[in-house]
Copies of this chain bind each other. A is one copy, B any other.
Amino acid sequence: MKFIGEKSIEAVCTLSGLTQAAAGGGSVSFHGSVHKIRDMGDVAFIIVRIIDSTVQCVWSKDHPAFDIKDICEEACVAFTGNMRYEERAPHGFEVVLQSAEIISLPAAPMPVIINKGKIKATIETLLNYRPATLRAGEMRAKFRIQDGIVRGFRDFLHTQDFTEIHTPKLVAASAEGGANVFKMEYFGRKAFLAQSPQVYKQTMVGVFERVYEVGPVFRAEKHSTSRHLNEYTSLDFEMGYIKSFYDIMEMETGFLKYTFDLLRAEYSAEIEQLNIDVPVLDKIPCVTFKDAKEMVAEKYNRRIKDPNDLEPEEEQLIGRLFKENYDSDFVFVTHYPSKKRPFYAMDDPENTKVTLSFDLLFRGVEITTGGQRVHDYNAQVEKMIAKGLDPEDFTTYLMLHKYGIPPHGGLGIGLERLCMRLFNDDNIRHATLFPRDLSRLEP
């Protein structure tokens, strides 16, 4: 009988593994993809893409480890060679090749040049050839940092006693309502794709007090902008027993501090590769919707067109103003008008025209919407009626209020939006592995 699990798992070869081997001297073995070949006749430099970095290898005609014609870019190889300190090589060493095994070969040359600095291609090409273009150093760095951000979100919330949940994306009704919802057939009934885990995370406050979810959300928005996707990854949390909606903002600020520290500590190579500024976060200024609108109108001499909503340009200018005045990349805008917030948003008892809600702007773009929710059953029923909704349509939703729930609130962070601003991308699609928009369902 064969058994699995008796031996320990073999470690993969990482840069730090190779660096340690280099310190010890002697030969090393590793595998990877041939990222680039610079063949100068007598000598060739071969850059190999390993799991978390690249390694410079040297092939020489005098002692050829293999026929250089047998490999090509994007071949998968296993190399053995001697480590040699070389100041001019990346990471300060190179590998003088002794032997090679060619593991697999591509069937075609790369459709886009990915190994000569920043890729020069249109966004359409970058997205159409994702299986090729994502292999570029810049792309690997971006999506490694994305991995770090989600890790930071979960690890931080775990330290704050949150429980992770997994809630359905196929739903019978939509808490947000409106036209921006994808419809489908579900065994003879109508179903929707969830625009957010709103009802489920509120429900779970009654179970675990503090919950979070990382998952896809779907918006059937028909406009095509550089900041919108029709499917994106939402970082959601919801917490009970809040004393005010500022508790939610404190928690988000804690997450951002924790995560930016994590990125600096464990993703420094990627930060360096992208040459980006990861904010050093101390505190985030906080301004009401009304004040923000007025400040921007005055400072930049603009007329206020829509008193109930922020235009993208206004968000940009608020970002600029708070950068100039407070040297802050972030600003919380609070107390959005009740008219524009959904039925579950709690009105400010001191001024019921506004809600206890907020957006977080990062470098002038909204990356978070959050706020306190109505928790009292009768108050929620009344607010539904006031909004022209029929509470009968929300029997399932109202169960969470009916059986008792503490004051609570939460937020949703758009992962790709956060990444887009961190990377200084001008289009959210650059910060998305496989974006979905009006015209794009592939790859």
Contact = CB atoms under 8 A, between A and B. Distances in A.
Interface of A: 1-7, 9, 12, 14, 31, 33, 50-52, 74-76, 78, 103-108, 110-111, 129-132, 134-135, 139-140, 143-144, 146-147, 150-151, 154, 158, 160-161, 163-173, 182-187, 189, 191, 193, 199-200, 203-204, 206-210, 214-216, 218, 220, 222, 230-231, 233, 240-241, 246, 249-251, 253-254, 257, 281-287, 326, 332, 375-378, 396, 399-407, 415, 433-436, 438-439, 441-443
Given A200-B434, A285-B2, A208 B140 contact: yes
Given A207-B143, A222-B187, A406 B286 contact: no
A406 B131 contact: no
A253 B4 contact: yes
A403 B104 contact: no
Given A216-B166, A231-B168, A104 B375 contact: yes
Contact of A403 (B2, B74, B144): B74
Given A12-B210, A283-B4, A438 B161 contact: no
Nearest to A438: B187
Nearest to A326: B1
A353 to B, nearest CB: 20
A367 to B, nearest CB: 15
Contacts of A218: 169-170
Contacts of A161: 12, 14, 51-52
Contact of A401 (B107, B158, B441): B107
A163 B183 contact: no
20 contacts: A1-B326, A3-B285, A5-B283, A33-B404, A50-B209, A51-B161, A51-B209, A76-B241, A103-B241, A103-B406, A107-B377, A130-B203, A134-B203, A151-B158, A151-B164, A168-B216, A170-B230, A170-B436, A189-B441, A396-B443
A283 B249 CA distance: 47
Contacts of A377: 106-108
Contacts of A230: 170
A75 to B, nearest CB: 6
Contact of A257 (B5, B105, B106, B166): B5
Given A207-B140, A441-B186, A131 B51 contact: no
A250 B210 contact: no
A131 B206 contact: yes
A286 to B, nearest CB: 4
B404 A250 contact: no
Number of copies: 2
A381 B171 CA distance: 38
A110 B146 CA distance: 43
Given A189-B441, A402-B107, A415 B166 contact: yes
Contact of A231 (B6, B111, B169, B240): B169
Contacts of A189: 441
A399 B132 contact: yes
A396 B207 contact: no
B433 A166 contact: yes
Given A76-B407, A396-B443, 8 more contacts: A2-B285, A2-B287, A5-B282, A12-B161, A108-B403, A131-B206, A131-B399, A172-B441
Nearest to A107: B377
A397 to B, nearest CB: 8
A415 B404 CA distance: 30
A215 to B, nearest CB: 6
Contacts of A146: 166
Nearest to A77: B406
The 10 closest A-B CB pairs, nearest first, are A106-B404, A107-B377, A74-B404, A5-B253, A184-B184, A172-B441, A76-B406, A3-B283, A5-B283, A131-B399
A74 B375 CA distance: 13
Contacts of A167: 433-434
Contacts of A332: 4
B286 A106 contact: no
B406 A5 contact: no
